[in-house]
Chain A
Amino acid sequence: MAMDAIEIETLIKASLPDAQVTIEDLRGDGDHYSAYVTSVEFAGKSRVQQHQLIYSALKGRMGNELHALALQTSLPKSN
């Protein structure tokens, strides 16, 4: 089972409304994605906690419908 990039982005933004999400379909098979996410919600959190925020936004799909999502998270660059 695969997931649309749009669906991934929508789920992330539902939990982290300010998030900037860049998704790449690594193999063009709808099953191996990379996502680069920035959000102010990541402030003061460890990388593990930042990724956990994303995983919980994906509501259990990670590791199931979504086989591979390489994640990179960071705070938005200040202006």
Chain B
Amino acid sequence: MSDNPVFDRIQSEIDSNDVVLFMKGSPMFPQCGFSAAISHALTTLEVKFKSVDVLEDGDIRNGIKDFTNWPTIPQLYLKGEFVGGCDIIREMFEAGELQQLFKEKGIEITA
């Protein structure tokens, strides 16, 4: 437990789900092009992931930036570890590295 209740909530999300995407909007209705791109990549790989809509929760929206030390959203967590934001995930996806990483971590993908 930290002194920050928002950090505790974020920690509990990434502890209880293998793949967590903090995004604007939902995978069905993304509210930002960058969030849409990453959620689309995950959907393409048919990865099961938990999405957290930061627009619905201002505390998380601000808190996640400090938590990760990362200024932008989306943010992808895999088994409790920050993998990257939009640019990194896109680069990894296009290079096939994201698929590789999921396999290494034992996350089921179909692609």
Partner pick for A52 among B70, B83, B86, B91, CB 8 A cutoff: B70
Q: Does B27 contact A (CB under 8 A)?
A: no
Partner pick for B85 among A51, A60, A72, CB 8 A cutoff: A51
Q: What is the minimal beta-carbon distance from A16 to any residue of chain B, in angstroms?
A: 17
Interface centre among A48, A60, A71, A72 (most CB of B within 10 A): A48
Partner pick for A62 among B72, B86, B91, CB 8 A cutoff: B72
Contact bitstring A36-76, B, C-beta under 8 A = 1, else 0: 00000000000110011001000010111000101110000
A62 to B86 CA separation, bound complex (whole angstroms): 14
Q: Does B69 contact A (CB under 8 A)?
A: yes
Question: What is the interface residue range for chain B against chain A?
Answer: 10 to 19
On whether the beta carbons of A47 and B84 are closer than 8 Å, the reply is yes
Interface on chain A toward B: helix, strand, loop, or mixed SS? Answer: mixed
Q: Does B82 contact A (CB under 8 A)?
A: yes
A68 to B91 CA separation, bound complex (whole angstroms): 16
Which A residues touch B72, using CB under 8 A?
62-63
Which B residues touch A72, using CB under 8 A?
87, 91
Which A residues touch B88, using CB under 8 A?
47-48, 51
- Would A55 and B91 be within 8 Å (CB), given that A47-B84, A48-B84, A63-B65 are in contact? no
Contact bitstring B69-101, A, C-beta under 8 A = 1, else 0: 111100000000011111110010000000000
Which A residues touch B70, using CB under 8 A?
48, 51-52, 55
On whether the beta carbons of A51 and B82 are closer than 8 Å, the reply is no
Q: Which residues of B contact A (CB under 8 A)?
A: 34, 65, 69-72, 82-88, 91
Closest 9 CB pairs of A and B: A63-B71, A62-B71, A47-B88, A71-B87, A63-B72, A55-B71, A70-B87, A48-B84, A52-B69
